Structures are given as structure tokens and as C-alpha cells.
Amino acid sequence: MSSSQTPATPPRPSRAHAIEQATGQDWQDWISWLESADAASLEHQPMAELILAQLEAGGFQQLENKPWWAQTIAISYEQQIGRRIPGQRSDGSFEATASKTVALDRADAWDVITNNVANRTSLFGAQLADSRTSTTLKRDYWRATLVPERKIQIALESKPGGKTLVTGTSYGLVTDAERQEHKREWKELFGQLFS
């Protein structure tokens, strides 16, 4: 590199603003603290534990769900230092998520899923296996395996005004291109089911 060229500044992680808003601390201050703690030398889980200890001891008493924020800060820092890209998990695989809020209550949206997705033998160009459902007080789930090794899930959660948030997630994707393709496929599927 010539002396007139400067190294590229890594892009700011997409969650940096949310982290700043939640913690009241500038993202650059988080980077400085993480660098001083040699966080880049840590694997994901120890890094998240280090951040959680800081959130619990460092004047963030009003911050709710500190473990979630610790994970978010760790992931954002890993993106900042080039260890992973958006949508990439700490094991190197990718995850794709898309969601749509629909003007149906949860029971009616669940009927759409069970009548139009749960009985399929293929989805996104792959064979489906191990299709199953489960329900909690907060969400309904449909899960399946895309043969050979991908996992998919649809979750439904009630929202105010008789609406439902429908979220599709694909796990175990191998490339960012596959992540982007699954994200597009989820959006297309939800557009067809809930138009």
C-alpha cells in the first residue's frame, strides 16, 4: 500500500445505533473498551460473558435483558473486526430470517400455516422431513428439516390489534448467497400466503 492510501475503515455494524440507544454508550467507546480487554482474542461465548459482566457492573442498571444485549454487542464487534458478516453465526454457518405482520389473529394465521405449509413435502426446492408443531403461551411454531441438513422454522406471535407477526427462519445455511436466497424465499412465501 502506498503512503497515500489508508486502510479501509470497517463498516459500522447494523446494530451499533441500537446498542448506543440502549446502553447510552457510543459504539466507538464500546470498541475501545473491547480492544482494551483484548476481546478479539476470545471466542464468541467468552466474549459475550465478558460483556455481560461489564453490563452488570458498569452502570447499566436500567438496561433490561442484559444477556441479550451482551450477545448483540459481541456479534456487532465480531462484525466490526471482520470475524463474521451479518447473518453469520459463530460456527460459520448462516441464518436467514424474514417476517411479516399480518392482519389475522394468531389462530387464523396458524390455520394458514398448517393448511398451506405444514402438509408440504418440499419447500425452497428441497425435500421436507421431520415436520412438527409446538405451542407456547407466546408463540406457535412449525419446524422442519430441509433435506439434507438445513433446519427451518415458522413462528407466530400475537400483536396488538388482532394482528400476528409471522417469522420464517432458516438455519445451517452454508453461504451468504444461500442466506440471501432463503430470505427472498421467505418473503415470497409470506407474500403468497398472506396477500
Which pTM was predicted? 0.72
All structural domains of the chain with their residue ranges: 16-80, 94-193
**Coil, helix or strand at residue 43:** coil
For 133, the grid coordinates are 408443531
Residues 22-51, mean pLDDT to the nearest whole number: 94
Per-residue pLDDT tens for 46-83?
A: 999 999 999 998 788 888 889 999 999 999 999 899 88
**Distance between CA 122 and CA 142 in Å, rounded?**
14
Residue 1: Cβ within 10 Å count: 6
Superfamily of domain 94-193 in CATH is START domain (3.30.530.20)
Contact 77, 47 (CB under 8 A): yes
Which residues are bridge partners to 99 per DSSP? 167
